[in-house]
């Protein structure tokens, strides 16, 4: 179908044409290229509160929130003031700094499941480091991951399921060698029997199981608590480490993330996004015993020039201070549930094949009426509906991430009026999408 552009996008289009002379595909991260939706990608000029404005002057109610980090919205005053106060003193020293101590203490004092933490500069780096740590602790090479869980662009994890029940991974990206991929065993989410057989068959070879406890990179594949408890028990039984990748869920569904929400103790947790308050920060954390394998105390080497730089630490400290305010997470979850339930209710009333799963302040526009727990339950053909919905929302001033496989986020800057506006506009966009479908 031809998409009618009812808002100006000429400036963004011109900037995108220029960007293609500088960057592969004109972007610095693939999904930003808008290839799954309509028109050129938006070049954003500024953001304040729950809204952001592009270079053409279009203002959008933002539910992408920089893909999750902005749990307090854009340009939060408390974070901004802390960052400015820090920047004027210097941006990086390559030395320890007081702010790193303060952020580390704040996290460890309020998170039952970890005793030591190491800051890095991204979620991908956190996962890469956690895998190396697990291998170093166990002295083994293989890892188990699950289809539908994304863990950043780490070679070992850019792997898709192989054929049959062998579960040996195959590379899903050029440049990832098959020898690396073969050390990754890919299983379907929720298959307890296959998990047990795999752990038994590869006894003495597997270092760790890694999972997104709330898979949120390929749709929102909410799992039963019993599945996470099963992973914990199997890891203990087979003497492997359990890694929770909480780059998205950490500090988003609660201060203790999914580990706290489901009361399941992983061995290692990775963090990113919210922990940086809008700046590039990641971290991995575990017990003192496990973390003592990390250099300079232990034999597992990991380092980073900008790790725990003062500006990122200041932003993260300010963001997490706000997250600890009484009722913070409850309020976010209530607003998210209200939005999701109203959209789902409208779709049900109209007979549209759409529902909105949600947990904490994360939501997803899921096509169909059945609960989706695995990636293979997502019908790619339904993404044509999302393309129309996304386009219609842009025309009316609502921004979602430019892919139907991506989740959305509610921030503390979103007011009840923002939620009402979003519901009305998403419902109107559904009317267009399903009338044409």
Answer whether 403's CB lies under 8 Å from 31's CB. yes
Contacts of 6 (CB under 8 A, 6+ apart): 395
Q: Does 195 share its domain with 205? A: yes
pLDDT digits (tens, 9 = 90+) for 198-213: 999 999 999 999 999 9
**Which one of 54, 62, 147, 245 is the catalytic residue?**
245
pLDDT digits (tens, 9 = 90+) for 220-242: 999 999 999 999 999 999 999 99
**Which tokens sit at 347?**
């779709």
Q: Does 241 share its domain with 291? A: yes
Residue 167 lies in a domain: yes
Residue 2 lies in a domain: no
Q: Does 46 share its domain with 119? A: no
Q: Does 121 share its domain with 157? A: yes
Residue 308 lies in a domain: yes
pLDDT value of position 157: 77
Picking from 155, 204, 165, 215, the residue whose alpha carbon sits closest to that of residue 185 is: 165
Final residue in a domain of this structure, among 323, 354, 385: 323
Q: Does 172 share its domain with 296? A: yes
Q: Assess whether 399 carries a catalytic annotation.
A: no
- Asked if pLDDT for residue 288 goes beyond 80, the answer is yes
pLDDT digits (tens, 9 = 90+) for 79-124: 999 999 999 999 999 999 999 999 999 999 999 999 999 999 999 9
pLDDT value of position 161: 47
* CA distance linking residue 334 with residue 323, whole number of Å: 15
The mean pLDDT of the chain is 95
Q: Assess whether 105 carries a catalytic annotation.
A: no
pLDDT digits (tens, 9 = 90+) for 172-190: 677 677 777 789 999 999 9
* CA distance linking residue 120 with residue 133, whole number of Å: 14
pLDDT digits (tens, 9 = 90+) for 9-24: 999 999 999 999 999 9
Assign 153 a pLDDT band (cuts: 50, 70, 90): confident
Mark 108-137 as b/e (b = at least 16 C-beta within 10 Å): eeebebbebbbbbbbbbbbbbbbbbbbbbb
**Which one of 54, 62, 145, 150 is the catalytic residue?**
150
Q: Does 278 share its domain with 367? A: no
Q: Does 316 share its domain with 349? A: no
Q: Does 20 share its domain with 94? A: no
Residue 4 lies in a domain: no
pLDDT digits (tens, 9 = 90+) for 354-400: 999 999 999 999 999 999 999 999 999 999 999 999 999 999 999 99
Integer CA distances (angstroms), 111 to 133, 147, 234, 377, in order: 20, 28, 24, 34
Q: Does 36 share its domain with 143? A: no
Assign 254 a pLDDT band (cuts: 50, 70, 90): very high
Q: What is the DSSP letter of 205?
A: T
Q: How many CB atoms lie within 10 A of CB 283?
A: 30
Section 322-338 average pLDDT:
98
Q: Does 105 share its domain with 218? A: yes
214: domain CATH number is: 3.40.640.10
Q: Does 38 share its domain with 156? A: no
Assign 170 a pLDDT band (cuts: 50, 70, 90): low
Final residue in a domain of this structure, among 295, 323, 351: 323
Residue 245, beta-bridge partner list? 270
Residue 1 lies in a domain: no
- Tell me which residue range forms the domain holding 175: 77-323
**Which tokens sit at 105?**
């203490």
**Which one of 142, 145, 234, 273 is the catalytic residue?**
273
pLDDT value of position 333: 98
- Asked if pLDDT for residue 167 goes beyond 50, the answer is no
Answer whether 241's CB lies under 8 Å from 231's CB. no
pLDDT value of position 100: 98
* Distance, CA of 427 to chain centre: 25
pLDDT value of position 430: 98
345: domain CATH number is: 3.90.1150.10
pLDDT value of position 166: 37
pTM for the predicted model, two decimal places: 0.96
Total number of domains in the chain: 2
Picking from 88, 89, 84, 60, the residue whose alpha carbon sits closest to that of residue 74 is: 60
Residue 216 lies in a domain: yes
Helix and strand numbers, DSSP H then E, in the chain: 13, 18
Structural element, H or E, at residue 116: strand 116-120
Q: Does 124 share its domain with 180? A: yes
Residue 5 lies in a domain: no
pLDDT value of position 156: 78
Residue 288 lies in a domain: yes
* CA distance linking residue 267 with residue 132, whole number of Å: 14
Final residue in a domain of this structure, among 323, 344, 371: 323
């Amino acid at each position: 179908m031809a998409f009618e552009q009812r808002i100006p996008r000429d400036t963004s289009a011109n900037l995108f044409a220029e960007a293609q002379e500088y960057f592969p595909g004109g972007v610095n991260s693939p999904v930003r290229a808008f290839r799954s939706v309509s028109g050129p990608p938006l070049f954003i000029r500024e953001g304040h509160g729950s809204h952001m404005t592009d270079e053409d002057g279009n203002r959008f109610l933002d539910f992408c929130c920089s893909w999750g980090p902005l749990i307090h919205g854009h340009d939060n005053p408390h974070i901004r003031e802390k960052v400015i106060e820090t920047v004027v003193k210097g941006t990086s020293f390559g030395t320890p700094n007081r702010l790193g101590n303060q952020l580390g203490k704040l996290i460890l004092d309020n998170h039952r499941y970890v005793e030591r933490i190491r800051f890095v500069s991204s979620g991908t780096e956190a996962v890469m480091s956690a895998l190396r740590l697990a291998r170093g602790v166990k002295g083994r090479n293989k890892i188990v991951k699950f289809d539908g869980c994304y863990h950043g662009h780490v070679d070992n994890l850019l792997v898709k399921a192989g054929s049959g029940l062998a579960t040996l991974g195959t590379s899903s990206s050029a440049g990832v060698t098959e020898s690396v991929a073969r050390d990754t065993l890919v299983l379907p989410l929720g298959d307890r029997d296959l998990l047990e057989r795999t752990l038994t068959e590869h006894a003495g070879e597997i270092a760790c199981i890694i999972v997104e406890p709330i898979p949120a990179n390929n749709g929102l594949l909410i799992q039963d608590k019993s599945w996470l408890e099963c992973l914990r028990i199997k890891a203990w039984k087979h003497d492997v480490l359990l890694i929770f990748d909480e780059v998205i869920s950490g500090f988003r569904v609660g201060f203790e993330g999914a580990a706290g929400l489901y009361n399941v103790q992983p061995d290692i947790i990775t963090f990113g996004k919210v922990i940086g308050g809008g700046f590039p920060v990641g971290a991995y954390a575990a017990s003192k015993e496990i973390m003592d394998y990390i250099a300079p105390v232990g034999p597992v080497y990991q380092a980073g020039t900008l790790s725990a730089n003062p500006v990122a630490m200041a932003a993260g400290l300010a963001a997490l201070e706000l997250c600890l305010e009484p009722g913070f997470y409850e309020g976010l979850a209530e607003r998210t549930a209200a939005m999701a339930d109203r959209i789902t209710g409208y779709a049900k009333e109209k007979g549209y094949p759409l529902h909105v799963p949600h947990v904490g302040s994360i939501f997803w526009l899921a096509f169909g009426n059945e609960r989706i727990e695995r990636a293979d339950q997502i019908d790619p053909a339904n993404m044509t509906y999302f393309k129309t919905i996304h386009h219609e929302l842009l025309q009316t001033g609502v921004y979602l991430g430019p892919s139907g496989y991506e989740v959305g986020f509610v921030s503390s800057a979103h007011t009840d009026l923002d939620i009402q506006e979003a519901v009305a506009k998403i419902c109107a966009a559904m009317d267009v999408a399903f009338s044409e479908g």
